[in-house]
Amino acid sequence: MPDIYYAGTDWQCSSGPIITRRYALTDLWPTGLASEIGGGNKDVLAAGDHPVVAIGTKADRPNNLTGVVVTYLNAFLIEVNMASKVVVKDYVSNILTYAQGVAATWAATFTIAKPVYVDDSADLPAGCRLSLSPLNSAGSGNPLAGYLHYDQDEYRNIDIGGPNATSDWPVTADNSEAVETALCIMLVNDSGQAWATIAR
């Protein structure tokens, strides 16, 4: 149950690409107080935090821009990496669907290239904003953030003398309850177009 944003200095899982654009805190969600469905709180964004967030008004969901916070100076000057295919690490919940306002199904494993969405449901703890559910607990579309991806040391590499006899993927979760795991996500930052294409 991560109550704070992923804090490791290993949050960057690829060296790029980097295309930064500047936003204000009010443009980003869900982050901070009363940013969950039902008024619950997420962790408060601060310098050194690098959460994956959705951008713009929620009325446009699920076709929101998404990105990862790179630097935070104050609530009005936040640099967000908007580049497509950059890989970053963040907490991801295994929630697949909601029913009657609460999580109903969960993935038994996290698998490579599984779509990851920015989810403002209250079922996610304060440090987690990403799930596998295309809809939030209120039935609104979640913006597509990206796809689960390997971390740099999670490949099977024994065949070239590396230490891993097997891949770390799929990553074990639990199909009977919510599990939040720090995983790498390849961001797409495509205004939700991929999601829209799939949904329609």
Partner 1 sequence: MRQIILLLKGYRGAQLRRLGAPEVKFQELDSFYGWVDTQLTGVKTGTLAVGHMAEVMTSADFQYALGEFLQRRMEPAYKRKRFNFEPIVKMDTAPNYSAVTRYQDRAGVDDLEYVGEKGEASPGSRDDAIKKQWQVYKWQKQYEFSMEALVNDDLAYFSDQARLMAEAARRTLEKYVSRFMWNATTTGRLTALLAMYSTTGRLTTARISAARMAFNQRVDARGEPILASLKYIVHHSGLVDTVATIQNSTLVPELATNAVNVVRGTFTPIEDPFCAGTAPNLPWFALTDYAADNIVPFILGRRAGMPGAVIARKTPNMEIVGTMLGAGTPAPPLWGDFETGNIVLKVMDEWGTFISGTDGNMYDVNGCYYSSGTAP
Q: Which residues bind partner 1 (CB under 8 A)?
A: 12, 15, 18, 20, 71, 158-161, 163, 165
Q: How far is the CB of 132 from partner 1 (least distance, A)?
A: 30
Nearer to partner 1, 20 or 109 (CB): 20
Are the beta carbons of 166 and 160 closer than 8 angstroms? Answer: no
Judged by beta carbon, residue 168 or residue 177, the one nearer partner 1 is 168
140 with 184: CB under 8 angstroms? no
Neighbours of 90 (CB within 10 A): 28
Rounded to whole angstroms, the Cα distance separating 169 from 51 reads 23
Q: Minimal distance in Å, beta carbon 9 to partner 1?
A: 10
CB 132 within 8 A of CB 94: yes
Q: Closer CB to partner 1, residue 6 or residue 29?
A: 6
Sheet strands (E) in 56-173: 65-74, 77-81, 87-93, 95-99, 102-106, 109-110, 115-118, 130-131, 144-149, 171-172
Nearest distance in Å: CB 45, partner 1: 18
* Residue 54 CB, nearest approach to partner 1 (Å): 23
Beta strands in the chain (DSSP E): 20-23, 28-29, 52-55, 65-74, 77-81, 87-93, 95-99, 102-106, 109-110, 115-118, 130-131, 144-149, 171-172, 180-187
Choose between 20 and 140: whose C-beta lies nearer to partner 1: 20
Task: Find the shortest distance in angstroms from Cβ 26 to partner 1.
Answer: 24
DSSP state letter for 100: T
8 vs 163, which CB is nearer to partner 1? 163
Nearest-angstrom CA–CA distance, 89 and 167: 18
CB 108, min distance to partner 1, A: 27
Decide whether 15 or 100 has the Cβ nearer to partner 1. 15
